[in-house]
Structure 1
Amino acid sequence: MANCYCGSSQPYATCCEPYIKGVKKAPTAEVLMRSRYSAYVVLAADYLWNTTAPSERKKHSKSAILDWAKSNQWLKLEVLRTTDTIVEFKAYYLDSNLRAQVHHEVSTFVNQQGKWYYVDGEY
């Protein structure tokens, strides 16, 4: 069985899939960010939308999220730094023209009523 898309040494079925399917809630900002990366790989736009802070959803649409996920070939995730509410990472992918790209982001997360949400990111 292949390792999870998020870069852990665990199988997807026991790593990010339970979060994406709603079986478990991400316990930390880093786990949420890793599961969101995996959600881009498996085209789980509902999960990406639902784990975006409600106050931030007006800046995004499910269809735009899905279009961006589909237009890229996701290669690997590298987590650079984490705190309780911030995760810095690099996502490596091939764009629609098959050019290698690196999305470097410092993401902010918030825990509301026991659930982690993505707030925004600085690139």
Structure 2
Amino acid sequence: MKKWIVSISAIALIAVMTACGAKQEPAATPAPAGTQNAAAGGAGQQVKLVATNYQFDQKEYKVKKGEDVTFTLENKAGLHGVAINGLNVELRGDKLSATVKPDKAGTYDIICSVPCGSGHISMKSKLVVE
């Protein structure tokens, strides 16, 4: 019985530690590349957050205050989620896109909200609302 519990625990630990290395296709169609900060005909701003092993594609994203912003998450490597503290944005699972209207200028933390392995704690970025 003891060996069985140890074996299950070891398998669970390996699964958690390798989550960032797993390939996953995005469940939703991500925004076209290069659309960060683009505002087109009232459609609002588009911010594409590309997640790879323990990092986002940019250290900082900038948007304008008072305008709709659509955030889209693309998992390039591993399985990740996004939480933007202070803006009530949570992208994970089958919800990989959200639109909000930031009405307060400032800097907001963007963090990975899915435990993705040993580098998870350092997977952070910033959103600057100007």
Structure with the higher helix share, 1 or 2 = 1
Query: Would the TM-score normalized by the shorter structure come out above 0.5?
Result: no
TM-score by structure 2 length? 0.25
Which one has more relative contact order, counting CA pairs under 8 Å at least 6 apart? 2
